[in-house]
Each structure stands twice: as structure tokens, then as C-alpha cells.
Amino acid sequence: MTAQDIPHYETRNAICEYGRSLLDDDLTTGTGGNLSARLDENHIAISPSGIPYGEIEPEDVPIVHTDGTVVEGDVDPSTELPMHLAVYRERPAVGGVVHTHSPYATTFASLGEPIPASHYLLSFTGTEVPVAEYRTHATEELGEAAVDALGESFNATLLRNHGVLTADESLDDAYTVALMVEYCARIHHQARAIGEPEILPDEEIDRLANKLDSYGQ
């Protein structure tokens, strides 16, 4: 099968590549985590369930209608499909969602503590990384908890006792946010081990977010 024979090849291939990056960037282990991208108003592509990231090919990446029906692909979608669909329903501008088990951020998720803006790069996510209420993984309830925590203001949330969810305009952007969440979580953890980190005020984070939006344009 050639690339031309695979519907939405580029997006499905990007999910394969970013899946491998989850491991390379130490954002998850094994087959943990998942990624998705919006294809149009009614469809998303999402990583498959239970296949090692190094073995996923573009044709393995399911295409799913927003009602949950698989319309392309022979492999089951990620078990976290309900959480991804909940984000796309509630945030129409979101084009990509990334779920990780990155160790430093997940440490704060297990503590039930939001990550504050002790580093300016947290402005990629909002004024903090909030914590969603604990719900069992792979359930509609977890999706509801995640979108409640994200609201309209945040691009990331910690999933209590679980991991991290990021959402942004594209899969590329959502992956960048996942990297920044983990970096800021590590810095905050290290700073707190030495002393009391200084937290940037919300108005400075808002100003920085506006600068990042126009960076390089």
C-alpha cells in the first residue's frame, strides 16, 4: 500500500511519528499515552490501542467519527477515545490532543497539585496547569473531568493520579505544550526541593502568552 492509497496519510503518519517521540522525549513508557488530530468537523485520527509505538504504521491509525464510530482502519482506537472526543466537542478550535504519562508532571498529578508559573514557559499552557478530578481511565467521566479542568483558558491539565492532557490548535502545538508542561514540572520540582519558587503573576503570563502567539510571524 502506498501513501496515496491511505486516506489522510499525512495526519496519520504524524500520529505515528509523534507516538515514537513520546518515548524518545521521555513523555511516556511502553504503550502508554495517546495522540489525536482533528481531520474535519466530524472526524479525528487517533493512535491505535495496544500497539507499540515503533510498530504503528499510518494505515493502523483509526479514523473516528465524533460520535465514536470507527470509519477507517482495522485496529481499535485508543481506549482514551472518549476523553479525546470530549475535548473536541467542548473546544471547537482545538485541532490536536496529546495524553502523556510524563514523570515530573505526573508526580504533581499524583499529589493533586497544580503546576504554577515558576517558569515563564508555563505560558504555553495558561497561568497554571490545573488538576482534573480523578476518574477511572478510559471512561466518559474522565473526559468530562478533563474538559471541566481545561475550561476555555487552559491548554493543559493534570489528570489526577494518572497523567497529563494537552490540547491546542494543531497536533504539533499540542505536542509542544506537552513538552513544556514536563519541562516546567521538572523545574518546579527541582526549585521546590531547594527552596520556595517565585511564581510569576497572572498578568505577566498573559503578556507572555500574547508574545508567544506572535513569535516568528
CB 27 within 8 A of CB 33: yes
Q: How far, in Å, CA of 201 to CA of 204, rounded?
A: 5
Given the residues 59, 80, 128, 182, select the one marked as catalytic: 80
Q: Is 21 exposed, middle or buried (0-12, 13-18, 19+ CB in 10 A)?
A: middle
Contacts of 56 (CB under 8 A, 6+ apart): 15, 16, 19, 47, 48
Outline where 39-94 has alpha helix (H): 81-90
Tell me if residue 198 is catalytic.
no
Q: How far, in Å, CA of 57 to CA of 157, rounded?
A: 29
Sign of CA pseudo-dihedral 4, 7, 13, 16: negative
Give the residue numbers marked as catalytic: 80
